[in-house]
């Protein structure tokens, strides 16, 4: 069995195990969008939602990524309210994805490998409870997989894993100017210094999970290096 075949077989095994866990927990593995196509949702917070959004938009199987707020006590909060830290919300992204192309387990892997889950209420220069590392699960199947992965990380880490795992109670989309922020503001200083390195890391580490447009293109013959 070749290396590529072995990797694909291992991925198929992981997806089968994950699907079995979800079925045993009574969670419907699949749902359908308006076009009747299979979709599921995941909600993650890993610091500034501009970063998280840009990371997950790179992945094949991801249909939509919406920046927003979850985990607080104030209905329909504004960005400025969330920034005070008084509403209890975290900046999150809600991801709609095709489980036939990318699994929830694979999304968890990308989530944990593209931020620091050992820093409490902080990611780089962004400090505050709204920047906490958090997974808002949509069902018991997602909760079980998230807790399992977190325990694996904890066993291998010298520092405590502070990622919060909590049920999703409400998701409020952020203001329009926050959506697709990196794509529409690539030259902004924060985008160049903070977000671009995260996107570059995803493109390097998860090449097999990238959308075709996100994959690095080889230089044309004779092009300057």
Bridge partners of 224?
none
Bridging pattern class, strands 133-137 and 164-167: parallel
d(CA 112, CA 106): 10
pTM of the model: 0.80
CATH class of 29-202: alpha beta
**Token pair recorded at residue 206:** 């998860």
Q: What is the pLDDT along the chain (225 residues), one digit of tens a residue?
A: 454 444 444 444 555 444 444 444 444 445 555 556 789 999 999 999 999 999 999 999 999 999 999 999 999 999 999 999 999 999 999 999 999 999 999 999 999 999 999 999 999 999 999 999 999 999 999 999 999 999 999 999 999 999 999 999 999 999 999 999 999 999 999 999 999 999 999 999 999 999 987 665 444 444 333
d(CA 13, CA 219): 36
Conformational region of residue 222, where left means phi above 0, alpha means psi within -120 to 50, and beta covers everything else: left
d(CA 174, CA 51): 14
| pLDDT for position 91 | 98
Q: Which residues are annotated as catalytic? A: 48
Bridge partners of 156?
none
| pLDDT for position 38 | 85
The three-point CA angle 133-139-140 to 5° equals: 95
Query: Domain locations in the chain?
Result: 29-202
**Residue 76 CA from chain centroid, whole number:** 22
């Amino acid at each position: 069995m070749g290396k590529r075949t072995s990797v694909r077989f291992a991925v198929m095994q992981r997806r089968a195990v994950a699907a079995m866990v979800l079925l045993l927990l009574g969670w419907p593995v699949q749902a359908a969008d308006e076009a009747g196509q299979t979709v599921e949702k995941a909600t993650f917070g890993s610091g500034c939602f501009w970063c998280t959004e840009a990371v997950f938009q790179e992945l094949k199987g991801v249909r939509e990524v919406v920046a927003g707020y979850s985990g607080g006590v104030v209905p329909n909060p504004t960005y400025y309210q969330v920034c005070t830290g008084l509403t209890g919300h975290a900046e999150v992204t809600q991801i709609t994805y095709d489980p036939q192309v990318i699994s929830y387990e694979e999304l968890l892997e990308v989530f944990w490998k593209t931020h620091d889950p050992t820093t409490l209420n902080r990611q780089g220069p962004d400090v505050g409870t709204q920047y906490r590392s958090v997974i808002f699960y949509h069902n018991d199947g997602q909760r079980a997989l998230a807790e399992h992965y977190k325990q694996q990380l904890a066993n291998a880490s010298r520092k405590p894993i502070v990622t919060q795992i909590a049920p999703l109670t409400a998701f409020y989309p952020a203001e329009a100017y926050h959506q697709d922020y990196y794509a529409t503001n690539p030259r902004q200083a924060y985008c160049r210094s903070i977000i671009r390195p995260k996107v570059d890391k995803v493109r390097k580490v998860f090449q097999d999970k990238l959308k075709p447009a996100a994959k690095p293109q080889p230089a044309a013959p004779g092009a300057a290096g």
